[in-house]
Homo-oligomer: A and B are copies of this chain.
Amino acid sequence: MSEARPDPGRVTAVYRVQPGSATPEDRARMIAVEQTVEVPEALIPPHIEKEIVGRVESVTPDPEVPGASRVTISYGAELAANLFDLLAVAIGNAPMYGGVRLVGLEPPRALLESLPGPNHGVEGVRRMCGVLGRPLLATALKPQGSTVSELASMGEAFARGGGDLVKDDNNITDDFEGFRDRVTACAEAVERGNQTTGRRCLYVPHAGARADELERYVEFVAEIGLPGVLICPMITGLDTMRALAERYPLIFMAHPSLTGVYTHAPQNGVAHGVLFGTLFRLAGADISVFPDARGRFQFAKAQCEAITERLREPLGALRPAWPAPTGGIGPADVARVCGIYGPDTVLLIGGALLGHPDGIEAGTREILDRIRSVHPEVSIEPSEPPRLSLPEPRRLAFRRDWNWEGRDSSPYKDAGDLTFRGVRRVELVGKFGERTRCDLRYFEVEPGGHTSFEKHLHTHVVIGARGEGVLLLADRRMPLRHLDVACVGPLEAHQLRNESDEPFGFFCVVDHDRDRPLRAE
C-alpha cells in the first residue's frame, strides 16, 4: 500500500495530494502537524515533535495521477485508541486543505486488537444461510410507500424462490411501534417462505432512526431472533455501528448512503477501498454494500476491486467481510459479476427482481440458477442465528438469613483509595446476562460499618430493607429505614453508615455501564 513498509505499532495513512502553492514535502508536513498538534511550527516543543506530531514517512509521485504526490504519514497508536480518534487523526482537518484524499490506511495493531470487527464475516453468514460455494443472492423490500403486506409478500416470494438474504430498503423508516409491526410481519412472511423451501433466507431490517432511539431498533431485531440489521454508518456515525455490533451478535450490513460525499471527488475525501473496505470492516460490517462498476452510479472497476480486496485481506484477526455489489444488476449481468467478484460475494439485486416478468419467486430461481452455473452450490444444514438468551434462575427467592437463592454474598473490599468497613454485597441482577440497563445489588452494613465516602457521575437509587442506617449526602444526614427510598444524584458525595446495633441492609439500583467512583473529600 505505502511505499515504506508500515509500522504495525503506528497508524499509517497514505494521502494523495494535488499540486499546490507549497511543495509536496511542505504539504506533507502541514498535514502531519494539522492532524496532531494544530499549532504553528515555532510552538511545537521538541518532546511533542518527537512523540505526537505525525511522521512523514515518504513523499513520492502518485503512481496513478500524474502531477499528484503520494504522501505517507504515520501517527502514534495512542492517537488512534478507538474509531473516533482514528477518523480524527487520519482524516480530521486534512481535507480542508483541498486536494487531499486518504487513499490508504493501516490501523495500528493495538486498535486492531481492541476491535472485534465483523461478528460473523464470510463464514458465519454462509453457515446461517446454509450455502457454501457460490455467491449469495440478496434483494431489498421496496419501494417506500408500499403497504406492510406488500413488502411482506415480496419477502415471502423471494424466500420461496430460494433467495438467501432480504433487506429493507434504506429509505423505509418508521417510528418504533411502526417498525415493530412492519418487521414482525416481514419476518413472519420470510419464515413462511422458508417453510416451503426448507432453506434459510435471512431477513435483515433497516435500523434507521434518531440517534437516541437507534439502539432500540437494533435491540428489537436481535430480540425477535432475526439474523441481522442494515445500518447507514455514514449517517449514524461510523463508531455507532461499531458500538451496536459489539453489543448485538447480529450480521451488520452497511449501506452506502452519504458515502458518495466521501468517495466521489477524485481529488478529495476518502478512497473507495479505505471507506467501504477498511473502515466499514473495522466498524463491524459483515456485508458492505456498494454500487457495481457497471450500474447506474459512477464506480470504476478498480474502485470495486479495491473495496473487495480491503474486505478480504488480512486485517489483524478480523473476519473477512462480504462485498455486496448492487445498482442495476440484471439477470444478464449475473455471470459477469460472479466471475469478477468470485464466490464470496453478495449479489444485491433489487429492481430486476421486483420487476421480473415472471414475478419475484420465479425471477429469484432464474437468477440463482445463473449464479450456480458459475459457482456451484454446496448446501449445508443452516445454523441458527445466535439468540440472545436470558439467564436462569429468573426468580431469586429471598431467604431468612438475608441472602437469595442462587446468589453469593461477598465482603466488599477496599479499592484504590476507597475504604469500606463491615460491608457485604449480594449482586442480584445485572451480572448474569440479564439485559437490564441497571443493576440491582443488596448491601448490608454491620453495626459500626460504613460504605466508602465517594462520588461518581452515575446515580444511585437506594431502598431501605433491613434495620436502620444513615445516608450522608454531602453535608446532610438522613435516616434510611425499611422501604424508605432515596436518590443520590450525579457527583454527590455520599456514604451509608450503620450507627445502630443491628445489621443495616439496603437495595441499590445503579447504571449497568457506569464510571469508577472517586473518593469524596
A contact set with B: CB distance below 8 Å: 30, 35-40, 42-45, 47-48, 51-52, 79, 81-85, 87-89, 91-98, 100, 140, 142-146, 169-171, 173, 175-177, 180, 208-212, 216, 219-220, 223-224, 232, 235-240, 242-243, 246-247, 256-265, 267-270, 291, 296-299, 350-351, 354-355, 388, 390-391, 394-398, 404, 428-429, 434-438, 440, 457, 459, 461, 463-465, 471, 473, 478, 480-487, 489-492, 507, 509, 511, 513, 515-516, 518
Q: Name 9 interchain pairs, CB-CB below 8 A, sorted by A.
A: A92-B257, A93-B297, A94-B260, A96-B299, A98-B298, A180-B518, A223-B490, A438-B438, A440-B463
The CA of A492 and the CA of B435, in the complex, are separated in Å by: 12
* Pairwise interchain contact A95-B258, C-beta atoms closer than 8 A: yes
Tell me whether A92 and B258 are in contact in the complex, defined as CB-CB below 8 angstroms, given that A52-B143, A243-B212 are known contacts. yes
Which interface residue of A246, A404, A435, A509 has the most chain B CB atoms within 10 A? A509
Which interface residue of A35, A143, A223, A263 has the most chain B CB atoms within 10 A? A143
A339 to chain B minimum Cβ distance, whole angstroms, is 24
* Pairwise interchain contact A211-B223, C-beta atoms closer than 8 A: no
The CA of A211 and the CA of B246, in the complex, are separated in Å by: 11
Tell me whether A97 and B297 are in contact in the complex, defined as CB-CB below 8 angstroms, given that A84-B173, A211-B242, A235-B88 are known contacts. yes
* Pairwise interchain contact A354-B43, C-beta atoms closer than 8 A: yes
* Pairwise interchain contact B91-A261, C-beta atoms closer than 8 A: yes
A518 to chain B minimum Cβ distance, whole angstroms, is 8
Top 6 nearest A-B pairs (CB, nearest first) are: A95-B260, A237-B237, A265-B265, A37-B143, A96-B260, A98-B298
* Pairwise interchain contact B210-A93, C-beta atoms closer than 8 A: no
* Pairwise interchain contact B457-A259, C-beta atoms closer than 8 A: no
* Total copies of the chain: 2
* Pairwise interchain contact A297-B143, C-beta atoms closer than 8 A: no
Q: Which one of B82, B89, B238, B440 contacts A509 once the chains associate, using CB atoms below 8 Å?
A: B440
A506 to chain B minimum Cβ distance, whole angstroms, is 12
Q: Which one of B39, B355, B511 contacts A354 once the chains associate, using CB atoms below 8 Å?
A: B39
The CA of A235 and the CA of B85, in the complex, are separated in Å by: 9
* Pairwise interchain contact B398-A171, C-beta atoms closer than 8 A: no
Which interface residue of A92, A267, A298, A471 has the most chain B CB atoms within 10 A? A92
* Pairwise interchain contact A484-B51, C-beta atoms closer than 8 A: no
Which interface residue of A43, A169, A487 has the most chain B CB atoms within 10 A? A487
Chain B residue at smallest Cβ distance from A481: B398
Which residues from chain B contact A263 at a C-beta distance below 8 Å? 96
* Pairwise interchain contact B461-A440, C-beta atoms closer than 8 A: yes
The CA of A443 and the CA of B120, in the complex, are separated in Å by: 43
The CA of A456 and the CA of B153, in the complex, are separated in Å by: 26
The CA of A485 and the CA of B257, in the complex, are separated in Å by: 46
* Pairwise interchain contact B210-A37, C-beta atoms closer than 8 A: no
* Pairwise interchain contact B261-A261, C-beta atoms closer than 8 A: yes
* Pairwise interchain contact B145-A176, C-beta atoms closer than 8 A: no
The CA of A237 and the CA of B483, in the complex, are separated in Å by: 43
Q: Which one of B171, B437, B465, B473 contacts A38 once the chains associate, using CB atoms below 8 Å?
A: B171
Given contacts A96-B299, A429-B485, 9 further A-B contacts (CB under 8 A): A43-B351, A81-B173, A85-B173, A88-B235, A211-B242, A264-B265, A395-B484, A438-B438, A440-B509
Which residues from chain B contact A296 at a C-beta distance below 8 Å? 30, 97
* Pairwise interchain contact A395-B478, C-beta atoms closer than 8 A: yes
Q: Which one of B30, B246, B269, B394 contacts A487 once the chains associate, using CB atoms below 8 Å?
A: B394
Which residues from chain B contact A259 at a C-beta distance below 8 Å? 95-96
Tell me whether A146 and B48 are in contact in the complex, defined as CB-CB below 8 angstroms, given that A84-B211, A173-B85, A176-B515 are known contacts. yes
Which residues from chain B contact A209 at a C-beta distance below 8 Å? 82, 84
Which residues from chain B contact A247 at a C-beta distance below 8 Å? 212
The CA of A97 and the CA of B89, in the complex, are separated in Å by: 29
Which residues from chain B contact A264 at a C-beta distance below 8 Å? 95-96, 98, 265, 268-269
A254 to chain B minimum Cβ distance, whole angstroms, is 14
Which residues from chain B contact A89 at a C-beta distance below 8 Å? 171
The CA of A362 and the CA of B435, in the complex, are separated in Å by: 56
Which residues from chain B contact A291 at a C-beta distance below 8 Å? 96
